[in-house]
């Protein structure tokens, strides 16, 4: 489903050039569930930004659904983010002024979908994450775990093929983290949505099928998780 | 989509009410000032136009004496150089429609127990034609009244009201300087002159009566000034020259001698006055529109703050699929909304202010549709113009940078 070929990302910091990603080659298939791990500064955030079409590689190619994203302009990338990718952030990133329905429906606004359909679909997705009772609440009126579920609902609303989650449980306690991870597993199992998540907690990474380790801008390890191997047997 | 974006703009505006209100205030004051100032300008112009119309058209005034005489400036009218036959000679000229000699003075008027001190002028029936000043009641005096110097009078509206109240003055006898005069008629009201005098506060008597009876016999045959009407505006320059030649001839002036009279083209003077007020009202509007500009800068200022404050929000929107034009439009619409709502309030304030000024000050105001339409259009342009830079700044934000912003 997505393929990175010789992807390099460099930043200029004054006179020195900083290599955030060095010659990354990676293929992710549909239905994959990948955890990205690595120490800070290892390039995992840069990697996620490139996967999410929020940033462009300095060199190399990134194919998403057979399309070479390096050739696309800003509007086409925005459309890809809207239709193919769903984002879940560590800090939830909900709009504080809007109630849950409007937050969840926001991607549909930019997809050009009418108000009525937006509302119906937003309620539907909120229901699937178990929050339909809070539809008209503002984000600061619900708990962190609930906010992250709203964020996941927002990521799901445009029926994406790929969900990118950047430390989705970083701000949550263990119990809520588990709930969120269960939700991801369900999406992967039942909806066949490809999931890529960044984490530095091994027990969170253990929920995934495949583990990729980043060190110094390179992939140091890439393999199936024990839990997934066990389930295959 | 557009409705959604309007809602979006509205909710962003109401999120910070005080700031939105203060931003709007700039537009309110700007638009209000433009409308108020142009109302005052238009009112003044209308008043000047009215005064000019009341003066009569294509008008000259020929005054006795020159502005300078032998190096010494003496007031025109201070010498007795114009005679009755000058007026009749001027009337014979080809470009002249009518000429009316005038001898002005002041006198005490008495009717029963009422007293009134006013200007009493001796003139001929031609005066009413030249000034385009018909009688409202009764009639004006005739040439035969002038020939036989009868004691008759025509009253201006103000005099009639002050002496007679509701009574009809026609046919009544008033006393001017203790001599009885029969009132022939009352003139139609003229209103204020260009210099603000009440033109209706006057009494007209036959010029011969004024010269021989009212102001004593030393004025026999002498006139102070002559009101002259040309047949059209285009012949006025030529008529002025002809009058000058004619009067110099009649007064037997040597070629190197100065004129002992002064000819003034009142219509040209009036046109100048009209031009001046027009320039003045333009200037007022121009000064007021500076505040509109300042209001626009205020909008830009606040929008820039707002973009910085909402950097993270912009980042989220871009991440979930907002295109650059979506973000641009969102902030542009917000600026536009502030300026249009501010403008609507400003229009109300301006109209209210204009009525207030009209009610409490002796200034005439005319609210013109064009000033409302123009200030509305200008406010819209100001909103777009000053909203564009902050909106573009928002649309050009890099999503990763914006998402990282705290």
The 10s digit of each residue's pLDDT in B94-127 is 889 999 999 888 899 999 888 899 999 999 999 9
B277 and B237 within one domain: no
**DSSP strand pairing (A85-88 vs B68-69):** unpaired
Q: Is B268 on the interface with A (CB under 8 A)?
A: no
pLDDT of residue B67: 54
Question: Tens of pLDDT along A26-79?
Answer: 999 999 999 999 998 898 989 999 999 999 899 999 999 888 998 999 999 999
pLDDT of residue B12: 82
On whether the CB atoms of residues A196 and A215 are closer than 8 A, the answer is no
Residues of chain B contacting A55 with CB distance shorter than 8 Å: 399-400
Average pLDDT (B47-63) is 84
Domain end among B220, B250, B280: B250
Q: A157 falls in which pLDDT band (50, 70, 90)?
A: very high
Indicate the residue of A79, A89, A93 with minimum beta-carbon distance to B321: A79
CB atoms inside a 10 Å sphere around CB B34 = 29
Tell whether the model's pLDDT for residue B406 goes beyond 80: no
ipTM, two decimals: 0.93
Residues of chain A contacting B319 with CB distance shorter than 8 Å: 52, 54, 81, 87, 93
B218 and B103 within one domain: yes
B155 and B24 within one domain: no
Domain end among B219, B250, B281: B250
Pull the structure tokens for residue B159. Answer: 């005099």
Chain B contact probe: residue of A47, A50, A103, A109 with most B CBs at under 10 A: A109
* Residue B62 forms part of a structural domain: no
CA dihedral A116, A117, A120, A122 (to 10 degrees): -110
* Mean pLDDT, chain A, integer: 92
B106 and B23 within one domain: no
Question: Tens of pLDDT along B131-187?
Answer: 889 899 899 999 999 999 899 999 999 999 999 988 899 999 999 988 999 999 999
Q: A143 falls in which pLDDT band (50, 70, 90)?
A: very high
pLDDT of residue A40: 87
Tell whether the model's pLDDT for residue B73 goes beyond 60: no
* Residue B63 forms part of a structural domain: no
Q: How far is B398 from chain A (nearest CA, A)?
A: 8
* Residue B164 forms part of a structural domain: yes
* Residue B131 forms part of a structural domain: yes
Chain A contact probe: residue of B319, B400, B406 with most A CBs at under 10 A: B319
Tell whether the model's pLDDT for residue A132 goes beyond 70: yes
Q: Is B313 on the interface with A (CB under 8 A)?
A: yes
B18 and B104 within one domain: no
pLDDT of residue A41: 86
pLDDT of residue B77: 46
* Residue B321 forms part of a structural domain: yes
Indicate the residue of A74, A95, A109 with minimum beta-carbon distance to B316: A95
Residues 6+ positions from A66 with CB-CB distance below 8 Å: none
CB contact under 8 A, B321 and A89: no
On whether the CB atoms of residues A199 and A35 are closer than 8 A, the answer is yes
Residues of chain B contacting A89 with CB distance shorter than 8 Å: 403
* Residue B364 forms part of a structural domain: yes
> Buried (b) or exposed (e) across B340-379, using 16+ Cβ within 10 A?
bbbbbbbbebbbebbeebbeeeeebbbbbeebbebbbebb
Indicate the residue of B4, B317, B324 with minimum beta-carbon distance to A115: B4
Q: Comparing C-alpha atoms, which of A63, A65, A21 is closest to residue A42?
A: A21
Q: How far apart are CA B226 and CA B218, in angstroms?
A: 19
* Residue B58 forms part of a structural domain: no
3-state SS string for chain B: CHHHHHHHHHHHHHHCHHHHHHHHHHHHHHHHHHHHHHHHHHHHHHHHHHHHHHHCCCEEEEEECCCEECCEECCCCCCCCEEHHHHHHHHHCCCEEEEEEEEEEEEEEEECCEEEEEEEEEECCHHHHHCCCCEEEECCCCHHHHHCCCCEEEECHHHHHHHHCCCCCCCCEEEECCEEEEEEEEECCCCECCCCCECCCEEEEEHHHHHHHHCCHHHCCEECEEEEEECCHHHHHHHHHHHHHHHHHHCCCCCCCCCCEEEEEHHHHHHHHHHHHHHHHHHHHHHHHHHHHHHHHHHHHHHHHHHHHCHHHHHHHHHCCCCHHHHHHHHHHHHHHHHHHHHHHHHHHHHHHHHHHHHHCCCCCCCCHHHHHHHHHHHHHHHHHHHHHHHHHHHCCCHHHHHHCC
B89 and B46 within one domain: no
Q: How far apart are CA B66 and CA B64, in angstroms?
A: 7
Domain extent at residue B173: 82-250
B219 and B141 within one domain: yes
Question: Tens of pLDDT along B182-213?
Answer: 999 999 998 888 777 888 999 999 998 988 88
pLDDT of residue B218: 62
Q: Comparing C-alpha atoms, which of B198, B182, B98, B201 is closest to residue B138?
A: B182
> Buried (b) or exposed (e) across B41-76, using 16+ Cβ within 10 A?
bbbbbebbeebbebbbbbbbbbbbbbeebeeeeeeb
Pull the structure tokens for residue B5. Answer: 């974006």
B303 and B364 within one domain: yes
Domain count, chain B: 2
Residues of chain A contacting B313 with CB distance shorter than 8 Å: 95
* Residue B191 forms part of a structural domain: yes
Residues of chain A contacting B11 with CB distance shorter than 8 Å: 97-98
Q: How far is A50 from chain B (nearest CA, A)?
A: 10
**Of A146-155, B50-59, B71-80, B194-203, which has the strongest mean pLDDT?**
A146-155
Chain B contact probe: residue of A78, A104, A159, A164 with most B CBs at under 10 A: A78
Indicate the residue of A81, A97, A98 with minimum beta-carbon distance to B320: A81
Question: Tens of pLDDT along B354-383?
Answer: 999 989 988 888 888 888 898 889 888 988
- pTM given for the model: 0.74
Question: Tens of pLDDT along B271-294?
Answer: 888 888 889 888 988 888 888 888
pLDDT of residue B75: 52
Domain end among B194, B220, B250: B250
Average pLDDT (A174-190) is 92
B230 and B99 within one domain: yes
CB contact under 8 A, A79 and B319: no
B245 and B145 within one domain: yes
- Name the β-bridge partners of B75: none
B244 and B276 within one domain: no
Q: How far apart are CA A177 and CA A183, in angstroms?
A: 10
* Mean pLDDT, chain B, integer: 87
CB atoms inside a 10 Å sphere around CB B216 = 11
B246 and B118 within one domain: yes
Residues of chain B contacting A110 with CB distance shorter than 8 Å: 317, 320-323, 326
């Amino acid at each position: 489903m997505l393929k990175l070929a010789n992807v390099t990302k460099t930043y200029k910091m004054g006179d020195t050039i900083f290599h955030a990603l060095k010659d990354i080659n990676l293929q992710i298939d549909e239905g994959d569930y990948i955890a990205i791990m690595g120490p800070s500064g290892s390039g995992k955030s840069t990697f996620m930004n490139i996967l999410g079409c929020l940033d462009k590689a300095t060199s190399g190619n990134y194919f998403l659904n057979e399309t070479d994203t390096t050739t696309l302009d800003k509007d086409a990338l925005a459309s890809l983010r809207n239709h193919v990718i769903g984002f879940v952030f560590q800090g939830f990133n909900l709009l504080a002024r809007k109630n849950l329905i409007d937050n969840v429906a926001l991607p549909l606004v930019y997809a050009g979908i009418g108000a009525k359909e937006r509302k119906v679909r937003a309620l539907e997705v909120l229901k699937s994450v178990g929050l339909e009772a809070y539809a008209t609440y503002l984000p600061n009126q619900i708990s962190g775990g609930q906010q992250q579920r709203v964020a996941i609902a927002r990521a799901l609303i445009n029926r994406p093929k790929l969900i990118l989650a950047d430390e989705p449980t970083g701000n949550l306690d263990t119990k809520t983290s588990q709930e969120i991870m269960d939700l991801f597993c369900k999406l992967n199992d039942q909806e066949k949505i490809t999931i890529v998540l960044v984490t530095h907690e091994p027990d969170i990474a253990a929920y995934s099928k495949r583990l990729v380790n980043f060190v110094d801008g390179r992939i140091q390890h890439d393999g199936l998780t024990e839990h997934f191997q066990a389930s295959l047997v | 989509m557009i409705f959604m974006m309007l809602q979006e703009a509205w909710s962003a505006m109401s999120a910070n009410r005080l700031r939105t209100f203060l931003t709007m205030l700039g537009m309110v004051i700007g638009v209000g000032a433009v409308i108020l100032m142009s109302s005052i300008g238009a009112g003044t112009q209308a008043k000047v136009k009215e005064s000019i119309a009341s003066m009569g058209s294509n008008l000259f005034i020929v005054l006795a004496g020159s502005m300078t005489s032998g190096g010494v400036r003496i007031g025109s009218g201070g010498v007795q150089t114009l005679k009755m036959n000058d007026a009749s000679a001027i009337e014979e000229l080809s470009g002249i429609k009518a000429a009316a000699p005038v001898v002005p003075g002041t006198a005490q008027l008495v009717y029963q127990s009422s007293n009134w001190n006013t200007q009493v002028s001796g003139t001929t029936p031609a005066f009413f034609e030249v000034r385009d000043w018909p009688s409202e009641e009764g009639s004006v005096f005739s040439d035969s009244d002038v020939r036989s110097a009868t004691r008759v009078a025509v009253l201006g509206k103000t005099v009639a009201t002050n002496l007679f109240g509701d009574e009809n003055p026609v046919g009544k006898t008033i006393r001017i300087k203790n001599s009885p005069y029969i009132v022939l008629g009352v003139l139609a009201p003229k209103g204020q002159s260009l210099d603000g005098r009440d033109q209706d506060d006057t009494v007209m008597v036959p010029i011969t009566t004024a010269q021989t009876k009212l102001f004593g016999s030393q004025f026999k045959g002498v006139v102070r000034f002559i009101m002259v009407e040309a047949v059209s505006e285009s012949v006025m320059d030529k008529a002025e020259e002809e009058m000058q030649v004619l009067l110099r001839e009649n007064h037997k002036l040597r070629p190197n001698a100065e004129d002992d009279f002064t000819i003034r083209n009142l219509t040209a003077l009036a046109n100048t006055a009209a031009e001046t007020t027009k320039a003045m009202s333009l200037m007022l509007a121009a000064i007021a529109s500076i505040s509109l500009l300042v209001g626009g800068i205020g909008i830009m200022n606040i929008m820039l703050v707002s973009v910085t404050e909402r950097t993270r929000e912009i980042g989220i929107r871009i991440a979930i699929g907002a295109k650059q034009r979506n973000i641009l439009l969102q902030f542009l619409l917000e600026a536009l909304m502030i300026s249009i709502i501010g403008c609507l309030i400003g229009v109300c304030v301006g109209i209210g202010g204009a009525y207030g000024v009209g009610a409490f000050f002796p200034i005439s105001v005319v609210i013109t549709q064009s000033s409302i339409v123009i200030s509305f259009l200008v406010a819209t342009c100001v909103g777009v113009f000053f909203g564009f830079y902050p909106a573009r700044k928002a649309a050009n934000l890099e999503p990763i940078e914006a998402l990282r912003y705290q």
